[in-house]
Structure 1
Amino acid sequence: MLARRWRQSLQFRAIAVSLSLTALAFFVTGSFLSHQIADRLFSERLDQVLASATADFEQVQASFDASDASDRDELQALVASTLGSLSVDGAETERWILLPMDFTSGQTLIPAQSQSPWMTSSTVPPELQERLAEQDGVFWQPASVRVTENGEEAPVIVVGTVVDLYQNSRYGLYLVYDFSEPQRTLDAMHAVLLLSVVVLLLLVGAIVWYVTREVVRPVSSTARVAEQLADGDLGVRMPVSGSHEVARLARSFNRMADSLQDQITQLEQLSSMQQTFVSDVSHELRTPLTTVRMAAEVLFNAREDFDPVNRRSAELLYHQVDRFDALLADLLEISRFDAGAARLEVASVELFSVVHDVVEAAAPLAVSSGSTVRVRSELSRCTVQGDQRRIERILRNLVVNALEHGEGRPIDIVVGASEVAAAVAVRDHGIGMTEEEAAKAFNRFWRADPARARTTGGTGLGLAIATEDTRLHGGRLDVWGAPGEGACFRLTLPRTRGRRLVPDDESPLGLPPDADAYPETAVVTRTGTLALASAAAAEPAPPAAAQPTDVEEDRS
C-alpha cells in the first residue's frame, strides 16, 4: 500500500521525505541538547556535592581532632553526635556510612555503622573502597542504591575520604547524595522534548501537506486533462486563474490542446475526404471497367484471328484489366476498413481445411515457381471462431507472397494450437528481408525492391489487407526475416469469439518455428498434386464459445 502510494503520489513522497528529514534533524538536535543539558545539570550538582562533602569531611575531622574521648562509649557518642549533624541545605539528600580500615593498634574501636539501617558496606562501590585504601584524598563514584525502607533504588553519588578517629585509627567516611531530583528534572525535560518533537512533526507535516497540495494540485489537474485528451476528449481544458507560473503552464497547455485539436480535426477531415474519394472513385470506375473488361474479353477470345502484334496486345490488355479489377476490389476493401464498416461473419472454422484449400488453389503457382509446399503439424484438427472468407484471404496472401519470394525453394506451412490461440506460420527460404524491411512489410504498396516487378500480378495491398483482417479477429500477424535465409509470417488468432490477444499471450508457434520438428500432413509436389498424410494428435480443447453472430469492427 505505502509502496504504491510512494510510486503514484508526489505529495505523499514529499510529505514522507520532509517528515523523515525533519524527524532526523530533531533527533540529532534533541540528542545533542539533551546530552549537553544532562552534562550541565550533572556537573553543577556534582560541584555542589563535592564542595559540601569536602566541608563536611573537614568539619568531621576537626571535631574528631578536638575531642578528648578515649574509650569506646565516648567515641561512639562522638561519632553519633558529629555525623548526625551532617545535612545539606536542611534537605535529607545526604546519608553517611562509616567503615573501619586498617589501623596501627589493630583494634576496631567502633563497628561499621550508617545513618540508615538499609545502608551497609555493600552500598559503597568496591572500587571506591579500594581507591581510599590506596591513597588519601576525596573521591567519588556514581551508583544505584536503595534509599528508602521499601527498597526503592535511586541514582546516587558516593563521596568518600579517610578520617582519623583516635590514635591513627583510620575509617572510611562515605557520604551518599541522592540524585533523584536531577534525574527527575532530566526525565521531565526528555518528555517535554519528545512532546515538542511530536507537535513539531505534526505541524511540519500539516505545512508540507498544504504547500505540496497547492503545488501538486495543478500538476494533478494537468495529468487528468492530458489523460482525457489521450482518451479522445479533445474539448477538455485546464482552468486558468491568476498570472503565476501554474497559470502560465495552464495557458500554454490549453494553447497546445487547441493546436492539437485543430490539427486532429483537419487530419480527420482529410482522412474522411480521402476515404470518400477512394470509395467514390472505386465505385465510379466499376462501370467503365466492366465495359472495358467485356471488350477485352471479346478481343482476347478472338486473338487467334489477329496478327502476332495485335494478338500480344489483346493478351496484355486482358491481363492488365484483370489486375486493375483486383486493385479496385482491394481499394474498396481498404476503404471499408478505414471507414470502420468491415464486418465479421463468425462461424466455426476448421483451419486445416482452409489451409488445404489455399494450398490447392496455389498449386499452379507453386508448379510455375518450382517450389514444393509442405503443410506440417502435430494436430489432425484445429478449429477457431472466425470469418472463414477473411482467414482464407489472409493465408492466401501469405502463401502467394512466399511463393513469389521463395526462389523455387520449399515452402513450409506450420499449424499449431493451444487452449486459447491457434497459429499458422508460412516460412519460405528465399531472398529474405532485413529488420528494417520487415517493419515496413505491412505498409500499403510497399516493396523491398522497387525495381523488381511483381510476378503474380499482386496489387501491393495484400499484406495490408491481411493485417486489417487479423486485427478484426483480435489476433496478431508477425513477421521475421533474414537476408539470404528467407522470411516467415505467423498468423495467431484467438480460438473463441470476443477474445483479443494481448502482448502477454504467447503464440503456439515460434517465429520462425522449427519446421523440421513437425510431421508433414500434406504436400504439394512440383507436379501440382496435393498429397495428404494422417496426423496422430488431437487438437487442444478451446474454451466454450458463444453462438456466432456478425461482429462489427472496433475502430476506436
Structure 2
Amino acid sequence: MITKPLFRKNYIIFASIVLVFIVVAISASWILTSFERDRMFMGPAAMNQTLLKAFDEDPFKAIVKLNDFSKKSGLEGHDLVDAQGISLLSGKKVLPRSLSADQLSQLQKESMISLGKQSFPAPPLVISKTNKDGVFLYSRIGPPGRKPPIGPFVTLLALITCVLISIGVALFYQFSKYRERSVEALAVLSALREGNLSARLPQKKFDELSPLIEAFNQMAGDLELMVDQLRKADTTRRQLLQDLAHDLRTPLTSLRTFLETLQISGQKLSEEKRQEVLSLCFSEVQYFGKLVEDLLFLAQITEPKYSLGTERIDLRDKVTEQLIVFKERSPHIRYDVVTRGNNFEIMGSSKLLDRLLRNAFENSSSFTKSKISVEISESENQISVSLLDDGPGFTAKALSEFGHKKASRVLIGDSEGQRISVGIGSVIMKEIAQLHSGTLSAENIYSDNLVVGAKVSVSFKKS
C-alpha cells in the first residue's frame, strides 16, 4: 500500500540523493587510488627504459641510479644482461635461456620484448635494448607475491557504502513525512475524543497514505453517524415518553370523568344516556389499548439495535394478503389493482411490511367513499406501492403532519365510522419505510383544480 506510491512520488528525490553519493564515492575512490595509479604508470618497461636514458648515456652508470630510484619507490631492481642471458654486473646467469635470433630481431624493431605472460603471483620478464649493442636492460613488471591493486576494491566499497547511505537518507526523509502525518492523526484523534466528531485527516494529492487516510476518515464518518443516530434515538425515546404521558393522560381523564358520572348520577340517568356513557368508556378503552400498542411498537423499531431481517419478500403477494382482509372487512369498498412489472421482491422484514400495508389500507379505508385503487409498479431502480382513494383528500395541515405525530388527537372517518387518531399510524409507516431504505409520501389527487381524493405511496430500492 505504501512502497509503490512512495517511490513513484519521490523517485526524483531518491535518484538525486543516490547520484550525489555515487559522485562522492567515485571522487573518494579516485583520490584514495591516486598513489597506486602513480605506481601503475611507473611500472611499464618503457618507463624504465626512458629513466635509464635520462639518468646517463652510459647504461652501466645509469643502472646504478635506476636501481636506487626503484629501491626508493618500492619497485623491483633491474640488471644489464647480454644475449646469452648473463648479468654484465654480477656475471651470473639471469635468463633461463639465451635470446633467440627471432627475439633479437624483435628487439631491433620494438625496442623491448616480454619473456613471459603476466600471471599472479609470477610477474613477466621484460628485456629492453640500451644505447650499447649487445647490452640489454632486464626488468620485472612487479615483485613476486605482489598484492593485486586495491583501486577497484576501494571504488566498489565506496560505491556500496554511498548507495546504502543515500538510501538511508532518502528513507529518513520519507519517514519524516510519515511522522508529520502521525502528528496530524494524533491531533484528529484528540479532537474526536473531545467530542468534535467532524474532525478528519486532510487528504493530499498523490499521498502514499491516501488509502489508509480514506479508511480512517470513513471510520470517523461511520462513528459520527452512529453517535448521531444514538442521539436521535435518545431524543425520540424522550419524545415518546412525553407523548405517552400526554396521550395516556387524556383517555384516563375521560374514563375517570365517565365513571364518576356513572357513580354519582347513575340512578338519575336514563337507560339511553347510561348506554351512551358506557359506549364512550368502551371507545376510550379501545383507544387506550391501541395507543399503548402503537407507542410500544414504535419504541421497539426505533431502537438502534433493532434487527430488520433478511427475508426476500414479494410486495405483490403482501398487497394481495391485505386486500383479502380488507375486502372482507369493508365489503362496500371496491378495490382495483394495477400491476406494472414482473419483479417485486425486496429484502426486509415480512412482519414490518405487513404492518406498513395494514396501516396504509386502514388510512385509505377510513376516508374513501367507494373505491380504492392499488398500483404496484416496478422501475429500473425501485418498486412502489400506491393507494388512491376517492375521499375528501388531505388538508394542508394533515399533509404537513403526515409521517409526524399530531399535537392533539382528532376524530377521523365519516359520520358512521369515526375514530380517534393521534397520527401514530403514519409515523409507524414512515419508520418502517426508512428501515427498508424506502420513502413514504402523501398527496392530493386533483381534477379540474378540485381535490377528488388522496394518494399514499411507499417506494423501496430494488434488492
- Larger Rg, first or second structure (1 or 2): 2
Higher-RCO chain (CA-CA 8 Å, sequence separation at least 6): 1
> Same fold by TM-score, threshold 0.5 exceeded?
no
Shorter-chain TM-score category?
A: 0.3 to 0.5
TM-score (structure 2 length as normaliser): 0.40
